[in-house]
Amino acid sequence: MNRRHFLQGLGAVSLLFPLNPIVAASTGFDDYVKQQNEGFSNYKAELEKDFAAYKKAVAEEFNNYKNKVNQVWGDKNIGSPSVLVQYSKDLNTRSIIDYEQGALTVELIENNNAEGVGVKLRKALVEIAASTVKEAYEKDTLVQNIEKRIEREASHQETAKVKSEPLISDVLTGTANPNQQQIAAAVIEISKEGKATTRPAVQSGQKVFAFSIPLDKANISKKSEQFRPLVFKYAAQEKIDPALVFAIMHSESAFNPMAKSHVPAYGLMQIVPASAGKDASEKVYGKQRLLAPSYLYNSENNIKMGCAYLNILYYRYLAKIENKESRTYCVIAAYNTGSGNVARAFGAGTNVSKAAVSINSLSPQQVYNKLVSSLPYDETRNYMKKVTPRYKAYLTEA
């Protein structure tokens, strides 16, 4: 029998006696693994494109908005994590809520001889005082522009609805969910301690009229109670000390629910979509996702992701640090600067395992002292000094 006839005969036999099921199963599994690997590679490539588009959008939108603000106000004030700055659509009115220093200011650009300025300032003051987080989010032109571009240009993003929670009304009134009458009454009362100022505007013939009122710092600290159920829920889920979550939230945003930084980072725990957001989303969703501003301005999502990232730092990246107190100090630093820079503080390059050997030979106080003196950046050294005493204070309250 020649080879051609042999192969034809083998084909006929295969019809009567199918391929060995073990071999078939093995082949099917190999195909499955191949498909999964290809799917993962495609997803990873698409995600990289999403983050590249996001970074480009952020850079462009921040730059464009700052320039527009500068043309009207002569500065590029778009706020900081603990200071919320909101503008009217025409940019001629802005409100500034300083959660850390305790002040609410409204500013208005008008002609030098304009009438009714006091009424306009009072109206703007009441409006921001009564705003919800949802309203503040919808009014934030910069954030809205970034969100729209993510929706248009990215494929693997997570968005969410922002909640109608108090922005500052609870601080002004000392009441968790005040009504409009309580808010108006509080504004009138606190305005007795207010201060009015004027200064030249960018355009000749115009002035900036401003009015500022103090905010009760004790009430700002009490704002943590608004998020207590969520902190305890997700801290328990991620096996993290809730006192640590509160201390980080307090230090990152001073409980400003609309916090944003130039990085940018968003929300109460200042989650950076391009770094911590990647790790946290992978832990929560099983794969990395681009967390849009709307997702992170939802307080529950923000706390959930913040706790997930703390879990990653504590139980994965810094797990070889044996003493719990020492590891907590390192987690605090890593939340701000990354675990690689924690390793650098102990002369181990970015090798965390090598750094853990040195850390395990020190007392917790020595670890803290070394972090405060040897972390690569002043910002992180100061961060340690802010978060650590707050952590110990929240330990007594939790």
Q: Dihedral (C-alpha) 111, 116, 118, 121: value to the nearest 10 degrees? A: -70
**Fold that domain 224-397 belongs to in CATH:** Lysozyme (1.10.530)
Q: Which pLDDT score, from 0 to 100, does residue 10 have?
A: 37
Angle subtended by helix axes 180-191 and 117-130, to nearest 10: 130
Dihedral sign for Cα 53, 58, 60, 65, please.
positive
Indicate if the alpha-carbon torsion angle 358, 364, 368, 369 is positive or negative: negative
Rounded Cα–Cα distance for residues 57 and 49 (Å): 12
Tell me what pLDDT residue 397 has: 78
Q: How far apart are CA 327 and CA 342, in angstroms?
A: 11
> Is the sign of the CA dihedral 24, 28, 34, 37 positive or negative?
negative
Provide mean pLDDT across the span 32-40: 60
pLDDT of residue 1 exceeding 70: no
Mean pLDDT of 2-10: 39
Angle at the Cα of 68 from the Cα atoms of 267 and 98, rounded to 5 degrees: 40
pLDDT tens-digit map of 51-74: 999 999 999 999 999 999 999 999
- CB count within 10 Å of CB 163 equals 16
Q: What is the pLDDT of residue 39?
A: 63
**Residue pLDDT, tens place only, 350-388:** 999 999 999 999 999 999 999 999 999 999 999 999 999
Q: Which residues contact 118 (CB under 8 A, 6 or more apart)?
A: none
Cα-based distances in Å from 50 to 53, 112, 287, 302, 359: 5, 48, 14, 20, 38
Percent of the chain with pLDDT over 90: 87
Asked if 128 contacts 86 with a C-beta cutoff of 8 angstroms, the reply is: yes
The residue-averaged pLDDT of 201-211 equals 97
Band of pLDDT at residue 24, cut at 50, 70 and 90:
low
- With a cut of 90, say whether residue 213 has pLDDT above it: yes
Provide the pLDDT for residue 22: 56
Write the pLDDT tens digit of every residue in 305-361: 999 999 999 999 999 999 999 999 999 999 999 999 999 999 999 999 999 999 999
Whose CA is closest to 138, among 103, 163, 168, 171? 163
Residue 37 and residue 324: Cα distance in Å, rounded?
Answer: 38
